[in-house]
Amino acid sequence: MNAIYNGILLGLFLSIFVGATFFMLIGTSINKGFKPALAMNLGVFLSDVAIILVAYFGTSEFLNNLINNHVFKMSGGIAFLGFGGYYLLKKHIPSDLTVNRNNNYSRLFLNGFLVNTLNPSVIAFWLGSIVLAISYNKYTDYQIFMFFLSALLVVLITDILKIYFASRLKRLINYKVLRVISVITGIVFILFSIKILFFS
């Protein structure tokens, strides 16, 4: 039970963290609707699962080296800069605020997966969590499984709730508000790119 409790606390901590993916998910939910944002969120979720699995099954050294790898940092920074420029400059937000029915769900899923995976702070967070679970709490394999399962489920559920309520607010939001959200999202991505390129 201790592992589950700590996993829930970890998930709640991560769910209140406002980062690049938060603004991307909220903006997508408001602009495109619940299902497209859900597809993107599943990409983020799968990325978290993949990072944890890679780190847990004996390749944490590889991930640690990846975080400190100059090429990886440059790739992540440039990718975040590209996403930031896209959100900052895009002009095709529909003025009538109707939900776009022609969404490419696989592309949205891939965007979520890439944004999360290319963020060194995400990899560092999960690596730190694994060290905490193994070294500090000295969890067994089963306890580690329950710890991360609890954390991931809490993050997934809270993210779904966020994008659901954001999509319900669509009727109260006009074009200018959507444009502001898009600009904020772009700025957040650009700030993350600067952090990755020059301060990590």
- d(CA 122, CA 172) in angstroms, rounded, equals 33
The highest-confidence range among 4-13, 15-24, 83-92, 127-136, by mean pLDDT, is: 4-13
- Residue 195 CB: number of other CB atoms within 10 A? 15
Give tens-digit pLDDT for 64-100.
666 666 776 787 778 778 877 877 876 555 444 444 5
Q: Give the contacts of 118 (CB within 8 A, at least 6 positions apart).
A: 75, 76, 79, 80
Give tens-digit pLDDT for 26-78.
888 888 889 999 999 999 999 999 989 887 776 556 656 666 667 767 877 78
- d(CA 172, CA 168) in angstroms, rounded, equals 9
Place of tokens 């997966």: 113
- d(CA 167, CA 34) in angstroms, rounded, equals 6
- d(CA 21, CA 160) in angstroms, rounded, equals 13
Query: What's the whole-model pTM score?
Result: 0.72
Q: Which two tokens stand for residue 50?
A: 């993949």
Q: Where are the domains of the chain?
A: 2-14+22-95+140-198
At 15 the pLDDT is 79
